[in-house]
């Protein structure tokens, strides 16, 4: 496979999905504009703003709120009740049950399609604290979405062409170590907004072998309203021999806006 040709032929999917690198910059700008309010100058006297300025500020705020809603729609992943702790008994036991269930589901789905996968290649850290368990549950739901969409892409490709390779091997599905933890306390800079007050992100990585049609279908499936998986990185390696699958390595991020998450 000519990787360069693949990229050119599938730019729409790649450009549509690969937005993870700018999400923090965009969100920081929007949220910072919404939640940061400059103090009036101590040198001012009388009314700080006239009616025109107040109207302009309200219009700008409305635009920023609309942009925030657009970000939530484009980038957000809303967790389901199954992956929440409320009403599920002991947190550690529930997390262990879902972990075991997910591994069995992936292995069974792979076996039905003659896709190679080893349970040892499905990995995530064992959480200890309640916060870590919550984060792991969110990550498990993301991994579940990845495996479902990957197998769906395989089925789509094989349905269109029974001789297609589809998905050959899952070499790794990994819930990465948590990032974005709070740094030591410090005084915030003027205008600074800590995005962790407003959203949660969980990273995961994957490594698999598949043909280009399956890869394209998988990438296209990543953007779904309320269930988007943001592409953080993607590398496609050309096969050594013609007719063999390419090797795909990448990282995804699930982003949950806290207001939406806490309303579930």
| Crossing angle of the two packed helices 91-112 and 130-160, in degrees rounded to 10 | 10
In a domain, 43, yes or no: no
User: Residue 7 domain-assigned?
Assistant: yes
| 38 belongs to a structural domain | no
Tell me how many domains the chain contains: 1
pLDDT computed for residue 225 by the predictor: 85
Show the domain range for 257. 3-33+52-262
Under 8 Å between Cβ of 102 and 143? yes
Whether residue 153 lies inside any domain: the answer is yes
What is the spatial distance between Cα 245 and Cα 19, in angstroms, rounded to a whole number?
26
Residue 174 falls within a domain, yes or no? yes
Query: Taking residues 69-75, what's their average pLDDT?
Result: 63
Residue pointed to by tokens 């579930």: 264
CA quadruple 41, 45, 49, 52: dihedral positive or negative?
negative
User: What CATH number should be reported for the domain holding residue 190?
Assistant: 3.30.70.60
Residue 180: inside a domain = yes
- Specify which residues 252 forms β-bridges with: 204, 231
Instruction: Tell me the pLDDT tens digit for each residue of 159-171.
Output: 999 999 999 999 9
Contacts of 72 (CB under 8 A, 6+ apart): 257, 260
Q: What is the pLDDT of residues 195-204, one digit of tens each?
A: 666 778 899 9
- Does 41 fall in a domain? no
Q: Tell me if 44 is assigned to some domain.
A: no
The number of beta carbons lying within 10 Å of the beta carbon of residue 110 is 21
pLDDT of residue 53: 73
Per-residue pLDDT at 74: 65
What is each CA distance from 205 to 35, 49, 140, 175, 202, in whole angstroms? 33, 50, 12, 7, 10
């Amino acid at each position: 496979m000519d990787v360069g040709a693949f990229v050119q032929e599938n730019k729409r999917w790649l450009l549509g999905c690969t937005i993870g690198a700018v999400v923090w910059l965009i969100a920081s700008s929007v949220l910072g504009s919404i939640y940061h309010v400059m103090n009036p100058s101590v040198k001012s006297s009388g009314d700080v703003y006239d009616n025109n300025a107040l109207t302009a500020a309200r219009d700008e705020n409305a635009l920023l709120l609309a942009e925030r809603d657009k970000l939530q729609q484009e980038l957000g992943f809303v967790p389901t009740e199954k992956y929440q702790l409320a009403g599920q008994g002991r947190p550690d036991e529930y997390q262990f049950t879902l972990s075991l269930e997910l591994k069995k589901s992936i292995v069974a789905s792979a076996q039905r399609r003659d896709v190679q996968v080893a349970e040892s290649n499905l990995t995530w850290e064992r959480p200890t604290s309640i916060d870590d368990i919550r984060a792991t549950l969110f990550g498990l739901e993301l991994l579940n979405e990845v495996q479902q969409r990957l197998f769906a892409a395989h089925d789509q490709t094989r349905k269109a062409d029974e001789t297609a390779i589809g998905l050959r091997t899952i070499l790794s599905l990994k819930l990465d170590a948590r990032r974005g933890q709070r740094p030591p306390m410090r005084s915030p800079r003027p205008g600074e907004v800590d995005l962790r007050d407003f959203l949660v992100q969980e990273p995961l990585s994957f490594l698999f072998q598949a043909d280009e049609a399956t890869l394209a279908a998988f990438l296209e499936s990543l953007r779904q309203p309320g269930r988007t998986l943001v592409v953080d990185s993607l590398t496609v390696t050309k096969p050594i021999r013609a007719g063999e699958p390419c090797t795909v390595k990448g990282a995804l991020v699930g982003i949950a806006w806290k207001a939406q998450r806490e309303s579930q």
